[in-house]
Structure 1
């Protein structure tokens, strides 16, 4: 029953996230928002909606370990598993991409997140405010850059619409699916953790984090197949930024997020090292080859196995 609830919740989260992204994309066309803004902000935010829904539900249930585990686990999965998978499908070329503000923001927010954990042992409400303020500054900068860029092709895989009513219905259905999915997923995760005798942090770092990262896996894999390097990197970087700032920030406003000794001693350092890796790749402009992708995926599987064996 718990496994059924977990799978049902996961399916609803994926469905809801997909519908919300469709609605948001149509809204961006209706409002004539810059394609760059849509690509970085809407896709990055949209694929993080399952994490947001799960974390808010976990916070309201007073399960902070599950919430903090979901954030850290999702970000590790984004870099090691998702970017690794993209590189295996098609080597990811970084050279020539304008990603300076993006990797700078990723470095700053990761340092803030890790610093709060190492110094205070918690993410408190005012830490959440600082993280939210940081992402607000990043979005403002991205908007300014988007306005200065020349217009590019705005073709999208979704049909366009000028009807605000259709957009509203899509967004409403999507958010309802996310709320219901989060409810079932968290219930199932709690039940599984009790049956298996493992902590809520471990469930958050592994099963929940992997499940809520499936939208990123789908989008990045399709982008890699189509040789769209910018979308691959943008999705990973954007999702990690939103996870650390928006999701952590909102959750911390509801409940303090404690770092367990296990997370402080191991998982947080894995997050730091993977963030350093992607930042170095972006700064140097190094190509992520298939061999590197296989290594990243292998390291992720080893990381996951350490929580169960």
Structure 2
């Protein structure tokens, strides 16, 4: 038993580390490739990079659904969104108060709220299947098209495009391939280690996804946001989380539902899914008030996350 526990813990730690490293490689390689193909730097930031940072959730959710159950994959998406808001932004705001731009409030935050509200609405009949997945992917296409339009029509974006095109190199392709392979391996390690540890303790598969797997997949966002806050790049920190939460639902959950239909229990509809909406609305309220997240806001978010996790294991 001890040996099994140690092995599961080791796989959990190695998996989380591999997810972080794989995401870094994928972001770097994909961003350079996109610039080499002539995409504007601002466009790359809101599309290629935003989607690449969601790759850990995508790999863990789909592999977890296929290897264990759809509850694991669904729990990973739900838990990752809550962790991004309460833990990632909370810790970042404790490091440095985070400024919120008017453009962020107008362009991106409404889509984050829409995605959060769509989650329980689409699950009202107790199932998120191919139809609901298709609806989410349609929202993804609309969101991406909207971002491309707003970024490419911006005069500032046109100025940023000057000199942004680079040559495509073998190293960038290697980064993308290495990142994808590392994410695949890391996802399997994280799922194996985390699920073995918690399932042995009698924890449900949905809670496994919401906690240990969600935390593992949120590591890239946490690292990037914390470093951004420490450097004073607070708008990047907020944008990273807002974009990730949108893509988690409309892209990751959309693809997951198309691949593996998800059964939603009454308890999920009463507690976990409304919590995603509640955390999102609380965050929007904090952001709206003074266009910043203060250290007090950060402390409140981190404490709320601790209470949430404690309640899950009560």
Q: Same fold (TM over 0.5)?
A: yes
Partners of 1:7 and 1:113 lie apart in 2 by 30
Whether the 8 Å contact between 2:119 and 2:273 is mirrored in structure 1 is no
Asked whether 1:128 is paired with 2:133, we answer: yes
Deviates more, 1:170-179 or 1:282-291: 282-291
Residues 191-210 of structure 1 aligned to structure 2 (within 5 Å): 191-210=196-215
Can you list the C-alpha shifts for 1:198-231, whole angstroms capped at 9, x where unaligned? 1111111111101110000011111111211221
Q: CA deviation at 1:49?
A: 0.8
Can you list the C-alpha shifts for 1:217-272, whole angstroms capped at 9, x where unaligned? 01111111121122111101100001001100111111111223432222212111
Partners of 1:132 and 1:95 lie apart in 2 by 27
Q: CA deviation at 1:10?
A: 1.6
Partners of 1:111 and 1:190 lie apart in 2 by 28
Deviates more, 1:26-35 or 1:134-143: 26-35
- From 12, 21, 26, the counterpart of 1:15: 21
Distance 1:91 1:242, change over 3 A: same
Partners of 2:258 and 2:65 lie apart in 1 by 9
- From 70, 74, 79, the counterpart of 2:76: 70
- From 185, 194, 203, the counterpart of 1:189: 194
Residues 21-60 of structure 1 aligned to structure 2 (within 5 Å): 21-60=27-66
Partners of 1:193 and 1:95 lie apart in 2 by 40
Partners of 1:298 and 1:87 lie apart in 2 by 13
Whether the 8 Å contact between 2:100 and 2:287 is mirrored in structure 1 is yes
Q: CA deviation at 1:59?
A: 2.2
Q: CA deviation at 1:110?
A: 1.5
Partner SS for 2:99: coil
Q: CA deviation at 1:283?
A: 4.7
Whether the 8 Å contact between 2:71 and 2:206 is mirrored in structure 1 is yes
Asked whether 1:146 is paired with 2:151, we answer: yes
Q: Give TM-score scaled by structure 1 length.
A: 0.92
Residues 252-263 of structure 1 aligned to structure 2 (within 5 Å): 252-263=257-268
Q: Give TM-score scaled by structure 2 length.
A: 0.91
Whether the 8 Å contact between 2:42 and 2:151 is mirrored in structure 1 is yes
Q: How many residues align?
A: 304
Q: CA deviation at 1:276?
A: 1.1
Partners of 1:73 and 1:154 lie apart in 2 by 37
Residues 287-306 of structure 1 aligned to structure 2 (within 5 Å): 287-306=292-311
Partner SS for 1:99: helix
1:218 is aligned to 223
Distance 1:133 1:50, change over 3 A: same
Can you list the C-alpha shifts for 1:171-208, whole angstroms capped at 9, x where unaligned? 11110111111112112223113321111111111111
Can you list the C-alpha shifts for 1:119-176, whole angstroms capped at 9, x where unaligned? 1112111101110110111111110111112245589xxxx96234222211111101
1:286 is aligned to 291
Whether the 8 Å contact between 2:33 and 2:168 is mirrored in structure 1 is no
Residues 223-234 of structure 1 aligned to structure 2 (within 5 Å): 223-234=228-239
